[in-house]
Structure 1
């Protein structure tokens, strides 16, 4: 006994694929690329953070706490 077939609701497109992207799907990667390219071309604008990094201070405090509480 054969199974009943269901008719297709949408006819198959022949050779044409319709894909739509939102505007930001192209704009955001292009903006990121241009920003990074400008930073590479003009590294004077990319200043490093001054002073000691915060993560170094955190590690130093953890080390002091561990060494002071050791019996």
Structure 2
């Protein structure tokens, strides 16, 4: 006894691709890019690790950037 095979109905072709990204899929890479860009804007601040703690320097830099 043979079994019937059901063919899949063909979907109507669409004119364009409908892809929806969540807001953070664009916001997070943009934020990372801007953050890295701000870090390299002033190369005179780039120096070898000295006596000051890194975390303190990072917070001071963030405070300076937010004060602008």
**TM-score, with length taken from structure 1:** 0.49
TM-score (normalised: structure 2): 0.51
> Which stretches in structure 2 are left out of the alignment for 5+ residues?
53-68
What do you get for the CA RMSD once the two structures are aligned? 3.1
Larger Rg: 1
Decide which of 6, 14, 17 is 2:8's aligned counterpart. Answer: 6
Distance 2:47 2:28 in 1: 21
Equivalenced residue count is 49
Instruction: Tell me what 1:65 maps to.
Output: none
Distance apart, 1:48 and its partner CA: 3.6
Which structure 1 residue ranges, 5 or more long, are not aligned?
Answer: 52-71
